[in-house]
C-alpha cells in the first residue's frame, strides 16, 4: 500500500502537475493539502478520470484538504479537527481506506511569531495531540499525513540558523511535535533515513530548489500497528522542478500488506 502526501498549493491551478504525478507514480492513497478551492470547485471529475475516488473539505482561497484512493472505497470518518466548534478552517479530514485510518492534515503556518497566528498554531497542535491520542486508543492502524509546517530538527533545514525565529522552527513548535510523536507515533521518513538530509519544500525565491536549499515539513506519523509494516519511502523531488509546480514535493511511504 503506497500512501503519498502532497501540498499542491492550489488544486485547480496545479491540476496538470497533479494528474501527471498521479499517472507516473500511481500511489494507492493520496493526502492533498492547500486545495485553495471552495467545496464545489474541487476537480472531482478529473480525479475520477485519473482512477481515483476522492473526499475533500474545501475552503475559498485558502487551506483545503482531500483524500484520494485508487480503485478503493473511502469511508469518511471526520471532517474538521475536534476541539473548537468555532474553527472554520478546512485543515483536517479523516477516512478509513483499506483497513487503515488516514488523517490528512494541514497544520497552521503560524507566522508571524509571536502573535495571534502563532497562538492559533499552538492551540491547533494541542487539539491534534488530543485527537491523535484518541486514535491510538482505538488500536486501529493509523497514518497521520500532511503538511505539518514543522521543522523537527536542525537536520531538517538548510541553514537552520536562519529559521530560529520562524514559527516552523521555534522551540514551542518543535516541542509540540516532539510531544505528539512521543505518544507512540513513528516519524516514517526519519525512521527510513535517520541521518540523511531530506527536504520536502523549496521556496520559490533565490533558486532554492536548484541549490537544494529546502525544509522537511511534510510528515507521516504511523501508529504502532504500522511501524513494522513500513518498507520504503521517499520524496518525488523531481516534481518540484516541473513547470508551474507547487513549492512542495510529494512525499510517499510504502506499507506491506
- Residue tagged active-site, from 147, 166, 187, 218: 147
166 is catalytic: no
Q: Which of 6, 52, 92, 106 is catalytic?
A: 106
For residue 106, indicate whether it is catalytic. Answer: yes
DSSP the chain: -EEEEEE-SSTTTTHHHHHHHHHHH--SEEEEE---S-GGGS-HHHHHHTTEEEEEE--SSS--EEEEEETS--EEEEES-TT-TT-----EEEEEETTEEEEEEE-----SSSSHHHHHHHHHHHHHHHHHHHHHHHT--EEEEEE-----SGGGBSSGGGGTTSTTTSHHHHHHHHHHHTTT-EEHHHHHSSSS----B--SSTTTTTTT--B--EEEEE-HHHHTTEEEEEE-GGGGGSTT--SB--EEEEE--
* Catalytic site positions: 106, 147
Amino acid at each position: 500500500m503506497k500512501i503519498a502526501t502532497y501540498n499542491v498549493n492550489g488544486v485547480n491551478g496545479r491540476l496538470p502537475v497533479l494528474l501527471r504525478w498521479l499517472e507516473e507514480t500511481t500511489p494507492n492513497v493520496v493526502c492533498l493539502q492547500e486545495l485553495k478551492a471552495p467545496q464545489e470547485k474541487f476537480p472531482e471529475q478529473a480525479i475520477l478520470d485519473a482512477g481515483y475516488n476522492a473526499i475533500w473539505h474545501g475552503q475559498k482561497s485558502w487551506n483545503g484538504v482531500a483524500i484520494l484512493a485508487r480503485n478503493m472505497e473511502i469511508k469518511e470518518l471526520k471532517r474538521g479537527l475536534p476541539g473548537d466548534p468555532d474553527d472554520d478552517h478546512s485543515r483536517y479530514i479523516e477516512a478509513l481506506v483499506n483497513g487503515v485510518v488516514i488523517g490528512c492534515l494541514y497544520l497552521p503556518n503560524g507566522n508571524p511569531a509571536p502573535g495571534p497566528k502563532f497562538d492559533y498554531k499552538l492551540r491547533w497542535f494541542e487539539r491534534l495531540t488530543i485527537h491523535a491520542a484518541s486514535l491510538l486508543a482505538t488500536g486501529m492502524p493509523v497514518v497521520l499525513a500532511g503538511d505539518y509546517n514543522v521543522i523537527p530538527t536542525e537536520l531538517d533545514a538548510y541553514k537552520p540558523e536562519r529559521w530560529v525565529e520562524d514559527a516552523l522552527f521555534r522551540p514551542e513548535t518543535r516541542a509540540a511535535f516532539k510531544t505528539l510523536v512521543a505518544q507512540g507515533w513513528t516519524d516514517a521518513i526519519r525512521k527510513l533515513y535517520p541521518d540523511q538530509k531530506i527536504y520536502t519544500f523549496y521556496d520559490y525565491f533565490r533558486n532554492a530548489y536548484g541549490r537544494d536549499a529546502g525544509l522537511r515539513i511534510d510528515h507521516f506519523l504511523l501508529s504502532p500497528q504500522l511501524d513494522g509494516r513500513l518498507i520504503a519511502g521517499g520524496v518525488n523531488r523531481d516534481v518540484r522542478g516541473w513547470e508551474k509546480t507547487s513549492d512542495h514535493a510529494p512525499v510517499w511511504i510504502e506499507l506491506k500488506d
